[in-house]
Structure formats: C-alpha cells, structure tokens
A = this chain, B = another copy of it.
Amino acid sequence: MPDTAHQEYDLLSVQNEDFDVAYEYAQLRENNSQDGAIVFFSGLVRDFNQGNDVTGLFLEHYPAMTEKALEKIIVQAKERWPINRVRLIHRVGQLYLSDQIVFVGVSSSHREAAFEACHFIMDYLKKQAPFWKKETTKKGDWWVESLEKDQKALDKWQKDE
C-alpha cells in the first residue's frame, strides 16, 4: 500500500553533482513517525579494483534510458516489500578517489523489508541500469569488466520468490 504522504519524499536523480548523505537521511526521517527502520547504501570510488591502482573513474550512461531503468527497479522493490520512502541518487561524469558514486536509502516500518529492499535495489542497479565505468589508473584508462558475482547476486532474488 503506497502512502501518498511518503511520495513527496521519494527521489530518483542521475546527476553530476555530489550528494549529501545527511540531507538524504533527513528526508527519509522528516514527518515520518510511521517508519522504524532506515537502511542506506553508499557506494564510493575505491583505490583498488580488478588489480589496478585507481585514481578516478568516468561514469558514462544512456541518458534516455537511465531514469526509466532505475524507476522500474524501485517499482519492483515497492511491490515486493512494504517500504515507504526510497531515495536513489547515481552520479555520472568524472569522479575521483573516495568520491561518492551512488546512494540508496529506504524507510520502512519493518527492519527486514528495509534491508532487503535496499539490497535488492543495489543488486538490480548493478546489472540492469545503463551505467559504465571507465577507470583511470597509473597504467592507463580502461573499462571496468562486469563481474560474474553481480549476476549471482541477482539470481539470489529470483530463487527467493
């Protein structure tokens, strides 16, 4: 049962700008005495990936498709778990070491639902949203390879059904 009082707090944004986790958390909490659980995930540019010393990365995406793909994932999560607010931000463009890449925050009355929905959204985003990372390393720039384990992470949610 989606609650319209929560919808104005939902967010889906694909942006160049950085985001502020404190603000996002506040938006999940504000006027929300109904939800006892907030789970969030934040993804950062790390220094070591697939055997390389990373100094930064460029995030390409498919502008006409990105938000549509992310919206679908959020709709699936809302159909599957009793969650109320979802805030999802994914950055694109040039990023540097330790920069924030992605934020997914979920509020729910139920701890289990908040954990699972947040995890589900990240797993699906990794495999179904049109983003591509090109890493800058001291040895040159290259495109990040898609990982087998990310497909396995997705399969897990299908087995659960």
Q: Which A residues lie at the B interface, using CB under 8 A?
A: 21-22, 25, 29, 32-49, 97-98, 109, 111-112, 114-115, 118-119, 122, 126, 149, 153
B39 touches A44 (CB 8 A): no
B153 touches A41 (CB 8 A): no
Q: Give the residue of B40, B41, B46, B112 whose beta carbon is less than 8 angstroms from that of A34.
A: B46
Chain B hits for A119, CB < 8 A: 115, 119
Tell me the number of copies of this protein: 2
B47 touches A33 (CB 8 A): yes
User: Chain A interface mostly helix, strand, loop or mixed?
Assistant: mixed
A48 touches B25 (CB 8 A): no
| Distance between Cα atoms of A72 and B122 in the complex (Å) | 29
Q: How far is the CB of A9 from the nearest CB of chain B, in Å? A: 14
Please give me the residue from chain B that is nearest to A47 by CB atom.
Answer: B33
